[in-house]
Structure 1
């Protein structure tokens, strides 16, 4: 469903757009995002907000995949749009041990081309199907903890800023499978 750039697409580069931008740690410290991929590839998960049921579901699937991500020589980095304390509670609740940041200004989202749909997105039946699907897995919406309208995505970023895989959600809950992300990561690492 999402806008995808995979193995055969034209590769984007984020070294000048996203790398110099800052994110905040759960403690409120400012960190340059590009430092995350300066020495190794990164699987970057941009989540909508820290109360989002789809984000909870996605992160609960990504966390068990961290060993496979590390085995490929990469790191999982998660960025949300709430405040630092929200990020801290989210990391604790979902047992996130990899870098987790927040970007309240959402300039990172803009740099990666993440969408911010209009109210008409509420008419998309996939939104409700996705909501039912993740609710059946036990993930319910929490109170808003960031920008409700912001969509996210999953990106693989290499140390030179090249992005061999980009998946931009077109509706809330539209995310690639973890198996697909791991497969794309392995392909990207082999091509390096």
Structure 2
């Protein structure tokens, strides 16, 4: 009989170590926090959102998101632009877009090296398992933006592949 708790424990240890590896590579590449790295990636994909929405997508309260945007703005990576009323949109600067590309490359390189340690057949099996886990995570979290806050979106859909989180969201919302 399979020991589900052991498998879950192995997954937890792996997930934490992979997170540390990915965040260290990404954040270290441009000298920002993990939240700052995620914010740059989110803004690269969807510039012009509010501080509150940015915070929601990266898992921060509005006040924490405002402080993070202040820090990114002080480094010249983002800028606030007034729109209508009191609403302010956050946009990446050219330096912010370059930083986002740099951190995604660093994250991708470290993760690709890790996955590359497996034989191709195991890599393919792992991809299928991860797609299933990501669909389950979307069902739990309920936000594709939150699940994929540090994703290299074009990488996930190149060669006609379908993003499992995006598909789970479309299935859930009827879109």
In our comparison, the structure showing a higher alpha carbon Rg is 2
- The structure whose residues are more often helix, as a share, is 2
Bigger relative contact order (CA 8 A; separation at least 6) = 1
- Shared topology, TM-score over 0.5? no
Give TM-score scaled by structure 2 length: 0.31
